[in-house]
Each structure stands twice: as C-alpha cells, then as structure tokens.
Structure 1
Amino acid sequence: MIFSKVTAFAALLAPLAAATRNSTSVKPSGHYDNEAPGCTSWYVVKPGDTCQGIAGWFQVPYDNIYSLNPDINATCTNLIPDIAICLSASPRPSGFVTSYLPTANATTLPRSVPVAAVETPAPEAVAPTVAAPPADEIRSGVVPECKRYYQVFPGDTCESISLAAGIAMTDFMRWNNAAWSCKDLALGSYVCVGL
C-alpha cells in the first residue's frame, strides 16, 4: 500500500516539477560572469536547487555543470537563486562530457535525479556504463540478477533513485529486497535499478 501512495505522490508532483523547471535559449539578464563561451541554453536557479538536481532535471552530465560554469565551486555551494547557469554550449568547451564508453553487462547511473520530463534539448551524453561494482559495495538484499546499479549519494532517497532510473518504486523495492528501509540508504553503496 505504501508503494502505491509513493508512486501516486510522485505522479502528482510531476506536472508541478515540469512547470517550474524550464530552460531557455534566450540569455537571461542575470547570469554568472564566467560562463562558457557560446552558451546556447540557460536555467535560472531556484531556491534549494543543487548542481546534482539541475543536472538531473535537464539530463546533462553532472560534470558539464562545472565545465560550462567555472564560477560554480567544486561543492556547488555558491548557486544563487534568480541567477542563470549555462546548460549547453556550442562549440563545446574543454572538459565537456559528450559520451562514456560502454562496457559489459552492468550500468551505473549518473548522480542526477530527474523528477519529471521537461522541454530541453536532447541529452548528448549516455549514462556511464561500468562492470558490476565490487560485491562488498553492493547493498545487502540486491537481487543477484541485477544488471544496472546506482551508487547512493548524499540526499538520495529511494523515490529519487527510482525516478532517476525511470523505474517503478515497486520494482526498486523488489530488486533491493532487504531488511533495510529507505531511510537507511548507505552512502557509497550500490543499489539495483535494472535487471
């Protein structure tokens, strides 16, 4: 019963999220001074935004937030509400991630956490793929047939991870069938997000 309530709650939030997170191709008046030359798309920061969340909303690689906006510090603690950040540029600045090399069987998802689809340019990067993480870093209770993993980062919740992975919360809970609760996600551990 709780899973259907969580899924229903996420579905209710999706239209609100989509309506409040939009990029623009018109350069806003308030923006960081040291953005990448040739910026073609911006997002105006809202109170409470994080680099991780913005990267997820707009499906851009997390590292691109920094390469396109050198004024943003490494811990992303200097985002300023109502100031725009660059989301894409042409030509690409150095350090811009355009693809990751795929490897066998398993996938680790990016740290981004998209909540709803928004109208943005199509992402140019692919989620990084790697071999299965070391067994001692996989959260207890993960099903053995798991093929895609997500590494838990600060601020992650079961709901945000399932949304980022594009999977139902019921699948997330079934694939991570353990005696731990969603309030007990171990930072740095890997959870299953795909079979």
Structure 2
Amino acid sequence: MQLTRFIGVAGLLPALVAGRVTKLRRGVECYLDAAPDSSTLTCQTFADHWYITLADFQRVNPNVNCPNLDINTSYCVYGDVVPEPISSSSIPPPTSSSSSSSTPLTTTTSTQSSLVISSTPSTTTSTRTSPTVQTSSTSAPSPSVSPLLPGVASNCNRFYKIVSGDECDIVAAKNGITTAQLRSWNVINTSCSNLWLDYYVCVGIPGVTPSSTIRSTTSSAPTPTVSPVMPGHVSNCNRWDKVRSGDQCNTLAGRSGVSVTQLRSWNTQINAQCNNLWLDYYVCVGIPGVTPSPTTSTISSALTPTVSPVMPGYASNCNRWDKVRSGDQCDIIASRNGVTTAQIRTWNNQINAGCTNLWLGYYICVGVPVTPPSPVMPGIVVTCNRWHLIASGNQCDNIASRYGISIAQFRSWNTQVNAGCTNLWLGYYVCTRA
C-alpha cells in the first residue's frame, strides 16, 4: 500500500508552515492545518483557496461533514494519508517444516510502510520459518538539501536555493533550463508568486543536461568590481550603475549615455517591460569599445558677472542677479526671485546678519548653477536652476502653466524643443527656470 500525498499551495504558505508534523486524525499525518475564514466556509471554497481538490481535502479530513465547515476548527490542507494498521487476524499463520505441533507465533503490527512478522522464540527443536511481509511502495531518495519547496520532483538530482529577487525566468536562466522545465519539476503557480525565500527548488532531473549557452552569461563572467549585481550581465562589462528608486530603463540608459537597447543587451535578465529592476543592485552600462554619449551640459565653475556694478562677496559661479531697490530687504529680494533668505546670504557673504548693508543700485547674486538631474534633454541652457521630469501627457503649455512661465521662456531655456512641442522625451528632464 502506498502513501498518498498531496500539496496545498498558497501565497502565504511559508509564513504558516512551522516545520511541525501533527497527527490530528486517525490515519492522517498532517503537516499544515488552517481554519477557514468567512470567505471559505464550505469544503469546496476552502479547498480551492489552498489549491487542492475537494477529494484530497476530504481524504486528509476523514471526519469532515461537507459541505459545511466550522470557523473555529482547523482542517488539514497538506498531509499524508497513512495506511491503517494491519491486524494480526488478517495474516495467515506460517506453516511449519516439522510434523510436530507448532508453537504459536505472535504478530507485530505497524503503521509504517513496512510490516514485519516475527516468531516467538520456541523451546521445541522444530525449524520454523518467520516470513517478512512488506508493502510494495518504494520511497524516493531523500534530498541532500533542506528546506525543500513542497512538490519537488521525486527524481530531482539538482537543487537551487531561492534568493531575494528571484523569479521563474531568472531561476531558469541561472540554471540553464527553461521556465517550463522549472515549473514541471516543482509545484509553482502560473504567476510564479509562491517561490519561498531560502527554500530549495528542483532544477534538474536525470537525463536533462543544462544549457551552457544560458548559463554562460553569469557563470563564466569574471567577478564584477561592484556588489551586489543583477544576474544576466555580460561577461565583459566594464561600467556599472546602481538602480535607484524610481529608475526605469530609459532613466538608467540616459544617465549612463547609452541606449535602452544597449542596456538590455548587456543585462539579459531585464524583461521587456523593464519592471524587474532590483533596487540597489548594479546593472551593466558599458562594455569595452563603447563610448558613452554626453548627457549633460558642461557648466563653468567661475562665471564673469554679466551686470555692473555688483556688491562684493558674491559667489564665483553666480548666474542670476538682481539690483537692490529702495526699501529692499533680504526677504523681499528672496521672495521676488523664488529663493530663500538663507540662499541670498550664502551667495552674498558680505551681507550681514541683519541684512542692513545692502548697497542701493548694486547687483547681488540670486542664483547659482544647479547640478542637473539625469537624464536631461539636449539643448538646455547652462544657467538652468529648476527642472521638470517629463511625464505622460506633458506638453509645453501645461508645463509652463504649472511653473508660472510663458511658453516662449520655456522654449528659450530648452532650445531643442521644436515649435510644435512634439519632441519632448518621456522620462527626461527639461528646464523651467534660468
């Protein structure tokens, strides 16, 4: 008689399994039990919730009174049906090879997969045979790794431990197999959402040789100079960039002066939608022989004032000026130019704490170049000090309206934006003040 085993799969199962084996019911060895909630109050809905059949649910819950369930009772959702004990009366007595009267034999019953019947020591000289009765089941060899994701193929001979960020396609590529093979050797749902962190899955069975072409992208590559790195990078990568919050393929490519096509060709595990970037992991953004294109304008660190006269003590890289008028104070000048009083005093270090020594008719600094974000559209003026990230639906008029500027000003600060404003680059920055 064989053991009957089935597996319940659900997204929250790892958090519920505590590695315990509970014998709650006669003939059932239960590994996981759970109580129904208000949405799973029938046998069928509860079984569906745990991805098992109604027949399997009833098999490991022999006393259940379907279709109704008790919300205060826990039911087995993952377990073994153990063979019932074999009684001694069902086993015929062994025959003696002697004609003398035989000594009665005692039987030993067991609930395990094998049953042994042994004779009681005899005081007679007759020879007795003590047959061994065993079940015909053959158990699969125990895996050499632990813990194991439930449902692993019994003939598995290669295993892989799930790490943070793993998905079915990534695990398959790392191990030189297809996603279909991975799912056929493991009970993994269609969305691949039930991979359990730090559990082992099956990645090989006898007769299947891993593909060297798939594995070569990671296994043959020299050790990167940065860490951690996303899998699937090319072996000759010589430039890296760390994925930041909000990054997409276009922002990564633009920041590094490469195209999205190049980025994806150097990082083969980035999917078509580019929605599987791993935060704070490095991706490849360059290989030998590829020179990145410049993405930002060069800004001089020391600019000659374009106005006169100026108050002494101004910042050497000042690129915006305002003339002191009668009645001006630092807060008035700051408000007029959209900056703070602290910035005014930082950029003009000869202005005292009370701001009482402004020189009437002289210019003071009210702006310095701001380090551009990345990536930026080409043609932006070097004096830009405020930026806007192009989003879906943006046009010149709604950007200008948002920042209280005219379309003419916007185009004068973004010189490569055409007259129809039809060439804004999604995910790139444009200038909204200079």
What band does the TM-score fall into relative to the shorter chain?
0.3 to 0.5
Return the structure number with greater relative CO, CA threshold 8 A, min gap 6: 1
Higher Cα Rg, which structure = 2
> TM-score, with normalisation over the residues of structure 1?
0.38
Larger relative helix fraction: 1
